[in-house]
Amino acid sequence: MIIVGASGTMGRHLTSAFEKEHEVITAASKGCAIQVDITSAESIENMYKQVGAFDALISTAGPTFVGPWKKLTDKEFRRGVEGKMMGQINLVLIGQHYINPKGSFTLITGALSHDPQKNFANASAANGAVEGFVRAAAIELENGIRINAVSPTVIENSPQYFPFFPGDIPVTMQQLEYGFRKAVFGANTGQVIKP
C-alpha cells in the first residue's frame, strides 16, 4: 500500500493504523521513504517506478489556495488545479499502469465540495472535480480496479481550521481511518465516502 501525503496529519495517522496489518510505503514532498511532488507527472511516474507493482494507493495530499476571495487570482487558483485536482488525477492515470489487478485507489476530497466555506473556493472547486473524476473513472478502470474518495469535514487533529468551519462537528481520526478502510478494503467503487 502506498500512502501519498504520509507526512501530513491524516497521512501520519493512516500510516500508523495500516502499517500494523499491511506493508506501507510512505510518499510525500519531504520526510517520507519516497519523495514525490504530485504537481509533477514526471515525479509521480518516478514514484511508481521506484515502488513497482502495488495493491492500493491512498492519497491524503492536495495543496490548494486558502485565503480571502479578493486574493484569488488565476495563479492562486492553479494551486488547487495542479495540486489537489490534477495531482490526484495523475496518481490514478499514471498509477493504473502499475497497480495490481483488483487493486484500489482512494483519493481525498472534503465537505467543501457540497458545503462551501469562506476562504476555500479553490478547495471547493478542486474537491468537486476530483469527485466527478472518481465517479467517471470507476466505470472505465479495468482489471477489477476500484476507485473511491473520502470526503471528511474538518478533522479533530487540525484545530487551526476549526474557526473556518463554524458549526461543523470535527471528524475524529478513528472515523477518518474507518472511512479509508471502507474505501480501500470494501467492495464499492465510484463512491464518495463521508466519514
Task: Note the pLDDT tens digit of each residue in 81-130.
Answer: 999 999 999 999 999 999 999 999 999 999 999 999 999 999 999 999 99
pLDDT value for 104: 98
Question: What does the CA dihedral 120, 80, 5, 92 come to, rounded to 10 degrees?
Answer: 130
What is the distance between the alpha carbons of residues 23 and 72, in angstroms, rounded to a whole number? 41
End-to-end CA distance of the chain: 21
Q: Which CATH architecture has domain 2-193?
A: 3-Layer(aba) Sandwich (3.40)
Question: What does the CA dihedral 2, 39, 148, 143 come to, rounded to 10 degrees?
Answer: -70
- Residue 1 — very low, low, confident or very high, per pLDDT cuts 50/70/90? very high
What is the distance between the alpha carbons of residues 141 and 93, in angstroms, rounded to a whole number? 10
Which residues does residue 195 pair with via DSSP β-bridges, in sequence order?
Answer: none
What is the distance between the alpha carbons of residues 160 and 74, in angstroms, rounded to a whole number? 26
Task: Note the pLDDT tens digit of each residue in 51-88.
Answer: 999 999 999 998 999 999 999 999 999 999 999 999 99
Mean pLDDT of 124-143: 98
Mean of pLDDT over the chain: 96
Residue 93 C-alpha cell reads as: 492515470
User: For the chain, which residues make up each domain, given as ranges?
Assistant: 2-193
pLDDT value for 40: 97
pLDDT value for 15: 98
Mean pLDDT of 13-34: 96
